[in-house]
């Protein structure tokens, strides 16, 4: 069955129910090596042109599944087999959380957009750690995205991140500090230079596992550049830009809560990424995410300085074939421009 037919069925369900159905199937598949092999043969695009060594680990292709899809590390292997060069698990919080009241996930098929107000629903550090112990290290990179519990007061936020870094530092190829979700009250207030300095200085004391900062798209380019430069100075190993947007004017019919994602945030997300890259290209690892839905857009981000890319919403609308098509399209674009390796194209537009 092709993804279009599967999507026609899944889209008949509420978005979160559809996610649970897919998650159950993906989790089952993760225990079946023959199924994983078959999927990998069909969807995982590998090529010497796309392969990069980053964080001491081999990335077969630059496209990762963005945080929030595999919140509980139950589908990690299947997502790799479905074409992603790497998988970011989480956001994981110290204690389990049920998240915000339902409904909290909405589709906008006309615009190939999503809006979500999930609020870090996840199984919590203890359970997710056990799952990762069974699969890490894998033959592909795994990142773990971490966030504070909703009930943790702001003044104690640093303690949550310390706990999570200590618990996951040996179970991930990289960690991501998430202070950019719009769905945990006041979380984005932590996007200030003092907190970021304190956080990375603390983190660097605990581990040498690479730690990245993920930022929101809803700030001025100057603010974004200052924050990310501060993070890198304090020891951050990379920047992921961006999370979902709370600029509801970007999506006709949007609700006035949660974060929007997909094509509608493409330009906003790219604009912020580009400014950050101008400042930090060559100094740290740059990951671009937000509205990527084609090989053309993926290539634009790479030429603007992205070492790696991530996708969430376009995967919902396009399925694994889209991931394969983007990777194949990247190979073609590199060859057309006479590059022998993706690293020659990274930042080509700003060098
Ligand atoms: C349903 C949903 C849940 C998400 N959950 C998380 C999360 O837990 N942590 C996080 O850092 N980002 C989360 N995100 C944001 C994505 O990782 C990504 O940054 C954003 O959707 C933009 O990429 P896209 O346009 O390709 O979807 C979530 C996005 C969606 C749509």
Ligand 1 binding pocket mutation candidate from 14, 18, 19, 66 (most atoms within 8 A of CB):
66
pLDDT at residue 185 in the model:
80
Residues 210 and 202: their CA atoms lie apart, in Å, by 13
Q: What's the domain count of the chain?
A: 1
How many angstroms separate the alpha carbon of residue 243 from the centre of ligand 1? 6
Strands 57-59 and 52-54, sheet pairing: antiparallel
Burial 121-133 (b: 16+ CB within 10 A, else e): bbbebeebbebbe
Instruction: Quick: pLDDT tens for 223-252.
Output: 999 999 999 999 999 999 999 999 999 999
Q: Are 281 and 305 in contact (CB under 8 A)?
A: yes
Identify whether 253 is part of a domain.
no
pLDDT at residue 1 greater than cutoff 80: no
How many angstroms separate the alpha carbon of residue 335 from the centre of ligand 1? 31
Q: Is 261 in the pocket of ligand 1 (CB under 6 A)?
A: yes
C-alpha pair distances (Å), 173 with each of 40, 47, 57, 142, 313 = 21, 21, 7, 6, 24
pLDDT at residue 36 in the model:
97
- Which residues are known catalytic residues? 181
Identify whether 7 is part of a domain.
yes
Q: Is 22 in the pocket of ligand 1 (CB under 6 A)?
A: no
Q: Is 318 in the pocket of ligand 1 (CB under 6 A)?
A: no
Residues 343 and 282: their CA atoms lie apart, in Å, by 11
The domain of 198 spans: 3-106+116-243+269-345
pLDDT at residue 135 in the model:
97
pLDDT bin (cut points 50, 70, 90) of residue 187 is confident
Q: Which atom of ligand 1 is nearest to the CA of 311?
A: 26
How many angstroms separate the alpha carbon of residue 340 from the centre of ligand 1? 32
Q: Is 289 in the pocket of ligand 1 (CB under 6 A)?
A: yes
Identify whether 278 is part of a domain.
yes
Instruction: Quick: pLDDT tens for 15-33.
Output: 999 899 999 999 999 999 9
pLDDT at residue 190 in the model:
78
pLDDT at residue 265 greater than cutoff 80: yes
Residue 264, token pair as written in the block? 């509608």
Q: Is 143 in the pocket of ligand 1 (CB under 6 A)?
A: no
Q: Which atom of ligand 1 is nearest to the CA of 266?
A: 25
Q: Which atom of ligand 1 is nearest to the CA of 180?
A: 11
pLDDT at residue 188 in the model:
81
Residues 249 and 255: their CA atoms lie apart, in Å, by 10
pLDDT at residue 183 in the model:
81
Q: Which atom of ligand 1 is nearest to the CA of 67?
A: 17
C-alpha pair distances (Å), 94 with each of 51, 129, 137, 340 = 34, 10, 22, 44
Q: Is 312 in the pocket of ligand 1 (CB under 6 A)?
A: yes
Strand partners, 52: 59
Strand partners, 131: none
pLDDT at residue 189 in the model:
77
CATH assignment of the domain containing 122: 3.20.20.70
Strands 86-92 and 63-70, sheet pairing: parallel
Average per-residue pLDDT for the chain: 96
Q: How much of the chain, in percent, has pLDDT values that exceed 90?
A: 93
Q: What contacts 31, CB < 8 A, 6 or more positions away?
A: none
How many angstroms separate the alpha carbon of residue 45 from the centre of ligand 1? 23
Instruction: Count CB atoms within 10 A of the CB of residue 169.
Output: 16
pLDDT at residue 180 greater than cutoff 90: no
How many angstroms separate the alpha carbon of residue 101 from the centre of ligand 1? 18
Residue owning the nearest CA to atom 10 of ligand 1: 67
Residue owning the nearest CA to atom 4 of ligand 1: 68
Q: Are 165 and 211 in contact (CB under 8 A)?
A: yes
Instruction: Quick: pLDDT tens for 113-160.
Output: 999 999 999 999 999 999 999 999 999 999 999 999 999 998 999 999
pLDDT at residue 69 in the model:
98
Identify whether 263 is part of a domain.
no
How many angstroms separate the alpha carbon of residue 63 from the centre of ligand 1? 15
pLDDT at residue 13 in the model:
92
pLDDT bin (cut points 50, 70, 90) of residue 261 is very high
Identify whether 297 is part of a domain.
yes
Q: Which atom of ligand 1 is nearest to the CA of 262?
A: 25
| Average pLDDT estimate for 165-172 | 98
pLDDT at residue 293 in the model:
98
């Amino acid at each position: 069955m092709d993804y279009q037919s599967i999507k026609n069925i899944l889209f008949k369900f509420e978005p979160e129910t559809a996610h649970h159905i897919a998650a159950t199937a993906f989790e089952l598949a993760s225990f079946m090596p023959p199924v994983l092999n078959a999927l990998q043969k069909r969807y995982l695009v590998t090529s010497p042109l796309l392969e990069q060594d980053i964080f001491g680990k081999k990335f077969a292709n630059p496209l990762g599944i963005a945080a929030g899809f595999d919140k509980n590390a139950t589908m990690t292997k299947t997502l790799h087999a479905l074409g992603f060069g790497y998988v970011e698990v989480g956001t994981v919080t110290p204690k389990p959380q049920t998240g915000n009241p339902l409904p909290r996930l909405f589709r906008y098929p006309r615009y190939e957009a999503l809006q979500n107000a999930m609020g870090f629903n996840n199984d919590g550090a203890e359970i997710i750690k056990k799952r990762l112990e069974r699969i890490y290290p894998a033959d592909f990179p795994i990142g773990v995205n971490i966030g504070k519990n909703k009930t943790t007061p702001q003044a104690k936020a640093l303690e949550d991140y310390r706990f999570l870094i200590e618990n996951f530092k040996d179970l991930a190829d990289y960690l991501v500090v998430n202070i950019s979700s719009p769905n945990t009250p006041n979380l984005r207030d932590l996007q200030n230079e003092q907190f970021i300095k304190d956080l990375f200085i603390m983190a660097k004391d605990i581990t040498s596992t690479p730690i990245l900062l993920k930022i929101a798209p809803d700030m001025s380019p100057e603010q974004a550049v200052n924050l990310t430069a501060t993070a890198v100075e304090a020891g951050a190993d990379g920047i992921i830009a961006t999370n979902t947007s709370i600029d509801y004017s970007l999506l006709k019919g949007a609700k006035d809560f949660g974060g929007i994602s997909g094509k509608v945030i493409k330009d906003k997300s790219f604009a912020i990424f580009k400014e950050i890259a101008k400042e930090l290209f060559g100094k740290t690892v740059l990951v671009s995410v937000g509205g990527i839905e084609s090989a053309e857009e993926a290539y634009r981000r790479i030429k603007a300085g992205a070492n790696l890319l991530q996708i969430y919403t376009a995967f919902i609308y396009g399925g694994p074939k889209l991931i394969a098509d983007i990777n194949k399209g990247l190979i073609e674009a590199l060859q057309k421009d006479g590059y022998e390796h993706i690293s020659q194209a990274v930042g080509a537009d700003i060098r």
